[in-house]
Amino acid sequence: MLAARPQAAWASLLDLMVIGDFSGPNVDLSAALEGGIDAVIHVASPFTYDTEDNEAELILSAINGVKAILSAAAAAGTVKRVVITSSFATMFDIDRVQMAAQYFTYTAGDWNLLTYDKAAHPETSAVVAY
């Protein structure tokens, strides 16, 4: 991101850090947020098409990752802002795929109605569970 925009006014104000797998329970990210970091942007959750257990591989790892980030941000004492991005999957309702095939403008009123139980069900594909 920085390499693509070296002249951007904000380039000198942004440090990017990739943190490896932090999706397990009780992960401590506090060391990663030391040094006066004042904002955190979380832009990714684990995803794979080849899951054997949606709950363990997609759902819980995403939940644990966000919890770890929020805990570390709170513990840092310097973080003023946390931004958590998501994917289009939060809005895309697989049951409305016919509507989506046509021109359709998504709004803040459109959300994926998939339940936790359905996403975790062994017969639900990883694409739908995500």
Q: What is the pLDDT of residues 96-117, one digit of tens each?
A: 666 656 667 777 777 788 889 9
The residue type of 116 is: Y
Distance CA 94, CA 98 (A): 9
Q: Are 12 and 54 in contact (CB under 8 A)?
A: no
pLDDT at 98: 65
* pTM of the predicted protein model: 0.74
